[in-house]
Amino acid sequence: MAKQIKGTAVVTGASGGIGYELAKVCAQNGYDLVLAARSEEKLNALKKDFEAQYMIKVQVFTADLSEMGQPAALYKFCHVHHIPVEVLINNAGYGDYQPVAKADADVLSNMLDLNVIALTELTTLFVKDMVKQRSGKILNIGSTAAYQPVPRLAAYAASKAYVVSFTEALHAELKGTGVTATVLSPGVTETGFVDRAGMANAGLAQGAQASAAAVAKAGYAAMQKGSFYVIPGVINKLLAFSTRITPSRRLVLAISALVSKEKK
Ligand SMILES: NC(=O)c1ccc[n+]([C@@H]2O[C@H](COP(=O)([O-])OP(=O)(O)OC[C@H]3O[C@@H](n4cnc5c(N)ncnc54)[C@H](OP(=O)(O)O)[C@@H]3O)[C@@H](O)[C@H]2O)c1
């Protein structure tokens, strides 16, 4: 029997990792999908798979969202195709693990264009329509790195601190509109992230890693509840809060520097 469609979820970075799992859980719960990422072949394979398995409609938007104009093009794509967007999931993002003094300025700038600018632009464009229709849900992907400065991931952690602050403030602004904004802050998760960031040898990446499916489920549930944030995993939650209540910033920074060191 065909499921009742709840509207469309736009998911960025849907070709793999947490974004793929978020798209899947949306599909399982009866949302049509717009999947965005750079890998056209992967997205087309997902479209085929999801449409067959979940009897939903999937549209593919292939783009590098860090490029100027691409977030607006994604928004326009939804408008031109009269897609009733009910959910926006800003998941596409990456990190770059090295000291700022060794980093490539173009890489950091590109990372900020994706993690911060594209997310802000997409949120700002889609939220207006959601407020007009008096319904909608936005899920932005932060990180536990957002909760303290992280040496060797300095720009990445700062970009995620932006995502957490931006989304929590937006959540408050949206009170009473029928629209909610939620930020999902995972700890280290088993995806392509660690490789792309070049942090396979980082102390941070040595412990147990959460599964992308579990992280996506926690994010989806919090988004459905309209919570303003979710940090999956008890230890991640405790660590994030301990940095907020520790009176000494110097101590927080020293511990963070120790944890984020390269493993010898
Ligand atoms: N894994 C972790 O440990 C972890 C922890 C905390 C937070 N996060 C956050 O979780 C989110 C998802 O990351 P992940 O762990 O699932 O990493 P991932 O496996 O590397 O997936 C990243 C996704 O983003 C897409 N993407 C990358 N650059 C893009 C661009 N310029 N334009 C459009 N799409 C782009 C990738 O697809 P294409 O390559 O096809 O473009 C892919 O679908 C990110 O925001 C990340 O910062 C991850």
**Does position 130 have pLDDT exceeding 60, yes or no?**
yes
**Does position 177 have pLDDT exceeding 60, yes or no?**
yes
CA of 213 to the centre of ligand 1 (A): 14
Looking at residue 247, what is its pLDDT? 86
Looking at residue 263, what is its pLDDT? 78
The answer to whether residues 13 and 93 touch, using CB atoms and an 8 Å cutoff, is yes
Q: Among 81, 243, 98, 234, which residue's Cα sits nearest to residue 161?
A: 243
**Does position 197 have pLDDT exceeding 60, yes or no?**
yes
* Six token digits for residue 144: 């536990």
CA of 251 to the centre of ligand 1 (A): 30
Q: Among 189, 184, 185, which residue's Cα sits nearest to residue 211?
A: 189
Confirm or reject: Cβ of 193 under 6 Å from ligand 1. yes
CATH 3.40.50.720 is right for the domain spanning 8-259: yes
Residue 1 pLDDT grade (very low, low, confident, very high; cuts 50, 70, 90): very low
Residue 203 pLDDT grade (very low, low, confident, very high; cuts 50, 70, 90): confident
Pairing status of strand 136-141 against strand 32-37: unpaired
Confirm or reject: Cβ of 191 under 6 Å from ligand 1. yes
Q: Which residues contact 161 (CB under 8 A, 6 or more apart)?
A: 146, 147
CA of 1 to the centre of ligand 1 (A): 34
**Does position 3 have pLDDT exceeding 60, yes or no?**
no
Average pLDDT, the chain: 95
**pLDDT single digits (tens) 81-115:** 999 999 999 999 999 999 999 999 999 999 999 99
Cα–Cα distance list, 150 to 92, 99, 243 (Å): 20, 10, 12
Looking at residue 262, what is its pLDDT? 84
B/e letters for 120-146, b = 16+ CB within 10 Å, e = fewer, are: bbbbebbbebbeeeeebbbbbbbbbbb
**pLDDT single digits (tens) 34-83:** 999 999 999 999 999 999 999 999 999 999 999 999 999 999 999 999 99
